[in-house]
Chain A
Amino acid sequence: MRKMSGPTQWLCGAFALALSLTVAGCTPAPAPPAGGATPAATSGTDAPKADGAPTDPAMMEGAKPEEGAASAAPAGGTTIVLDGSSTVYPISQAVAEAFKETNADVEITVGLSGTGGGMKKFILGEIDICDASRAIKTAEKEECAAKGIEFLELQVAIDGLSVVVHPENNWVDCITIAELKKIWEKGSTVTKWNEVNPAWPAEPIALFGADTDSGTFEYFTEVVNGKAKESRTEYTASANDNELVTGVSDNKYAMGYFGYGYYVENKDRLKALSIKKDDAAECIAPTAETIETGTYAPMARPLFIYVNKAALKRPEVAKFVEFYLSEAGQEMVSERKFVRMPAAKWQEMKDALASALK
């Protein structure tokens, strides 16, 4: 039996060692708040500094502008931290991946907390770049100003929505926003096609739509129902767009909406409806061209990234954002089934970035 006490002793010893190491590491600091470790005044120093009062990294940047460039690096070091809209996520992820191929030493994380969640973190200085499927709100701008966060707004792509039906649907090619609203508005009682338009068949409509988590849902409801996130609730919502595609292509009397990219992927199984803004307007079919030129209004929207200007001073962040707007970066936009912005807009964004980098 005695032989076996060896490993146990070793184990105990190892734990004791680990514990004492941690304690020893902590003690030299005069232990300001929690835990005995010292707040990092600057990330440049490698010895502990006891004088730094605990401050928000973002606020510190305002106080010490010279050191700010390094210390305000929210999540620290050479890691570029992106978060925000789930709509923009696929683009940012692909760009990050492509960027990584030529810049192996830069580390990138991309999260998807939604535009609102991303903005919240952006304001707190926790992230370098916020993906957004809408422009920043006035309230968010004010909060940024209050926290001393300066940002650069860059459009990176265009997102088109498509309203789709079964390919055998022969009664509707073009639909007005008013008709869509009748179907999708909150508390809508429409259950059959002919309740929208008497010329259409008296068959029940099967409705499919984006998940309530998604930017697509937010955007569609805003455009069609006039208020974001206000929608009828009796329809099949799914975050998995494959399921929506399958749902619509399985049922002759189905209707659904999702991002333009998924329609393009499944053109053979779906029929996209042209959209008529109001009675005076023309029917516009969703194509890359109509979306790019903005004639497919209002069903196309710009997608943005918001870059923390303090973070932009870090060379790797600057390089990443430049890459995002370069040809190689913009290729990812079409690769991920979004629509690229028109050349003039693109140039405008490049200029904006160049002047910010000066």
Chain B
Amino acid sequence: MAQSAPNPAPAFGSSSLRKSASWLRAKEMLIRGVLFCCALVSVITTLTIIFVLLYESILPFPGHSPFFAEVSVRDFLLDTKWTPQYADKHFGIMPLVCGTAWVTFISGCVGLPLGLVSAIYMSEYAGPRRRSVLKPVLELLAGIPTIVYGYFGLFFVTPYVLRPILHGGLGFTVGGANALAGGIVVGLMIMPLVASLSEDVLRAVPKSLREAGYALGATKFDVSVKIVVPSALSGILASFLLALSRGVGETMAVTLCAGNLPQLTANPLIPIQTMTTFIVNMMKGDAVVGSIEYKSLYAVALVLFTVTLTMNYISQLILQRYREVYQ
């Protein structure tokens, strides 16, 4: 330590000490400043995102007409057609919201229960050896790129799982791309997230509560379901919310296996278009900068951003409160 320190003033002349001390002090301040700037980058990122999205969709600068100057908010929210690429353009976001809602809902039906039950298993039932197998598997599942899930959904789930059961067995028409396949793979994707977040939450429940339960003659089921889960409920809800917001923002898996056709529909077996799919398909194609279609991208992204940010924020708040309760 002493070797690498740059100020080993051997002669203890007070002036040299002061000089080196003030140099050191300046250096310390400088470093602190640089580090602070690093921390600010994330704030600047958020501000830039907000600015970029608002600029094209809402803010009326001179010589620039934003999306909502050309399409009224009323039409945007209430029109039931989304046809930016037709000659007769409609910008009603409902079909996209409908698509997103379908995918999120189905993914929730698949991913949330599976994830929660896995979390219970890992925190209450599994011994350390099984946990040491399961944890990495879940981490691996969470680490697989979403495009792989998309491939899996398109070329495996739909033709080999959904078609035989729903078409062969029950006689429904199943589109090559459909909301159900998209929802299922997104569900599989968010499951590890729910599992690991919920497990953390469950393990934070004090041991004393469980022991009290066992002392009263409760079975493992009673302890898990009637004591641990209820006491961790807010944390579990937060993890659900976080996972669902991931489902809302999921792009590639949905693009590949849920289709690209904005429809306001109650049938999850036909292709749909989500907000994220719209953005990807439009951006890689023919969106001429400055056109109304181009601006509509930012309006959709703004909705997406607002929804996911709100869900995240609420879940953060809940988690924070939860941690305070058990610490």
Listed in ascending order, the chain A residues whose CB lies under 8 Å from chain B are: 2, 5, 9, 86, 112-117, 120, 186, 211-213, 217, 221, 227-231, 233, 236-240, 243, 246-247
List the A side residues contacting B4 at CB < 8 Å: 2, 5, 9
List the A side residues contacting B285 at CB < 8 Å: 86, 112-114, 117, 213
Does B83 sit at the interface, judged by CB under 8 A?
yes
Contact B85 A212 (CB under 8 A): yes
Q: Mark B273-297, 1 if CB is under 8 A from A, else 0.
A: 0000000011011111100000000
Contact B177 A238 (CB under 8 A): yes
> Measured between alpha carbons, how far is A2 from B282 in the docked complex, in Å?
55
A-B contact pairs, 23 of them (CB 8 A): A2-B4, A5-B4, A114-B285, A116-B286, A116-B288, A117-B285, A117-B288, A186-B86, A186-B87, A211-B260, A212-B86, A213-B282, A213-B286, A229-B86, A231-B86, A236-B261, A236-B271, A237-B260, A237-B261, A238-B271, A239-B260, A239-B281, A246-B176
Q: Of all chain B residues, which has the CB nearest A221?
A: B87
| Nearest Cβ on chain A to B7's Cβ, whole angstroms | 16
> Measured between alpha carbons, how far is A169 from B219 in the docked complex, in Å?
65
List the A side residues contacting B282 at CB < 8 Å: 213
List the A side residues contacting B281 at CB < 8 Å: 213, 239
> Measured between alpha carbons, how far is A238 from B255 in the docked complex, in Å?
12
| Nearest Cβ on chain A to B311's Cβ, whole angstroms | 30
Q: Of all chain B residues, which has the CB nearest A214?
A: B285
Contact A113 B286 (CB under 8 A): yes
Listed in ascending order, the chain B residues whose CB lies under 8 Å from chain A are: 1, 3-4, 81, 83, 85-88, 175-177, 259-261, 270-271, 281-282, 284-289
**A243 is contacted by which of B83, B176, B287 (Cβ under 8 Å)?**
B176
Contact A230 B88 (CB under 8 A): yes
Contact A230 B86 (CB under 8 A): yes
List the A side residues contacting B85 at CB < 8 Å: 212-213, 217, 229
List the A side residues contacting B261 at CB < 8 Å: 236-238
| Nearest Cβ on chain A to B230's Cβ, whole angstroms | 46
> Measured between alpha carbons, how far is A337 from B10 in the docked complex, in Å?
84
List the A side residues contacting B87 at CB < 8 Å: 186, 221, 227-230
**A238 is contacted by which of B260, B286, B287, B289 (Cβ under 8 Å)?**
B260
- Which of B4, B86, B177, B271 gathers the greatest number of chain A CB atoms within 10 Å? B86
> Measured between alpha carbons, how far is A116 from B3 in the docked complex, in Å?
66
List the B side residues contacting A236 at CB < 8 Å: 175, 261, 270-271
List the B side residues contacting A227 at CB < 8 Å: 87
List the B side residues contacting A233 at CB < 8 Å: 81, 83, 86
| Nearest Cβ on chain B to A317's Cβ, whole angstroms | 25
> Measured between alpha carbons, how far is A94 from B73 in the docked complex, in Å?
46
> Measured between alpha carbons, how far is A217 from B289 in the docked complex, in Å?
21
Which 4 pairs across A and B sit closest by C-beta, in order of nearness?
A: A114-B286, A212-B85, A230-B87, A213-B285
Contact B260 A117 (CB under 8 A): no
| Nearest Cβ on chain A to B274's Cβ, whole angstroms | 15
Contact B88 A120 (CB under 8 A): no
| Nearest Cβ on chain A to B290's Cβ, whole angstroms | 9
List the A side residues contacting B289 at CB < 8 Å: 120
> Measured between alpha carbons, how far is A45 from B92 in the docked complex, in Å?
54
List the B side residues contacting A221 at CB < 8 Å: 87
Instruction: Using A213-B281, A236-B175, A238-B271 as known contacts, say yes or no to A117 and B287 having CB atoms under 8 A apart.
Output: yes
Q: Of all chain B residues, which has the CB nearest A113?
A: B286
> Measured between alpha carbons, how far is A92 from B282 in the docked complex, in Å?
22
Contact A120 B288 (CB under 8 A): yes
Contact A238 B86 (CB under 8 A): no
Instruction: Using A86-B285, A233-B86, A243-B177 as known contacts, say yes or no to A238 and B259 having CB atoms under 8 A apart.
Output: yes
List the B side residues contacting A230 at CB < 8 Å: 86-88
Q: Of all chain B residues, which has the CB nearest A186?
A: B88
List the B side residues contacting A117 at CB < 8 Å: 285-288
List the B side residues contacting A120 at CB < 8 Å: 288-289
Instruction: Using A213-B85, A229-B87, A230-B86 as known contacts, say yes or no to A2 and B1 having CB atoms under 8 A apart.
Output: yes
- Which of A86, A221, A236 gathers the greatest number of chain B CB atoms within 10 Å? A236
| Nearest Cβ on chain B to A99's Cβ, whole angstroms | 25
> Measured between alpha carbons, how far is A231 from B83 in the docked complex, in Å?
10
| Nearest Cβ on chain A to B93's Cβ, whole angstroms | 15
List the B side residues contacting A231 at CB < 8 Å: 86
> Measured between alpha carbons, how far is A212 from B285 in the docked complex, in Å?
10
| Nearest Cβ on chain A to B320's Cβ, whole angstroms | 33
> Measured between alpha carbons, how far is A116 from B293 in the docked complex, in Å?
13
| Nearest Cβ on chain B to A124's Cβ, whole angstroms | 10
Task: List 8 extra interface pairs beyond A112-B284, A213-B282, CB under 8 A.
Answer: A116-B288, A117-B286, A212-B83, A230-B86, A233-B83, A236-B270, A238-B177, A246-B176
> Measured between alpha carbons, how far is A114 from B289 in the docked complex, in Å?
13
> Measured between alpha carbons, how far is A86 from B286 in the docked complex, in Å?
9
Q: Of all chain A residues, which has the CB nearest B83?
A: A233
| Nearest Cβ on chain A to B253's Cβ, whole angstroms | 16
| Nearest Cβ on chain A to B279's Cβ, whole angstroms | 13
> Measured between alpha carbons, how far is A114 from B86 in the docked complex, in Å?
15
- Which of A186, A212, A237, A238 gathers the greatest number of chain B CB atoms within 10 Å? A212
Q: Of all chain A residues, which has the CB nearest B284?
A: A112
> Measured between alpha carbons, how far is A211 from B85 in the docked complex, in Å?
10
> Measured between alpha carbons, how far is A114 from B260 in the docked complex, in Å?
17
| Nearest Cβ on chain A to B301's Cβ, whole angstroms | 18
Q: Of all chain B residues, which has the CB nearest A228?
A: B87
> Measured between alpha carbons, how far is A243 from B86 in the docked complex, in Å?
21
Q: Of all chain A residues, which has the CB nearest B85?
A: A212
- Which of B270, B282, B288 gathers the greatest number of chain A CB atoms within 10 Å? B288
List the A side residues contacting B175 at CB < 8 Å: 236
| Nearest Cβ on chain B to A341's Cβ, whole angstroms | 25
| Nearest Cβ on chain A to B322's Cβ, whole angstroms | 37
> Measured between alpha carbons, how far is A270 from B4 in the docked complex, in Å?
79
| Nearest Cβ on chain A to B236's Cβ, whole angstroms | 39
| Nearest Cβ on chain B to A308's Cβ, whole angstroms | 19
| Nearest Cβ on chain A to B316's Cβ, whole angstroms | 32
| Nearest Cβ on chain A to B292's Cβ, whole angstroms | 13
| Nearest Cβ on chain B to A90's Cβ, whole angstroms | 15
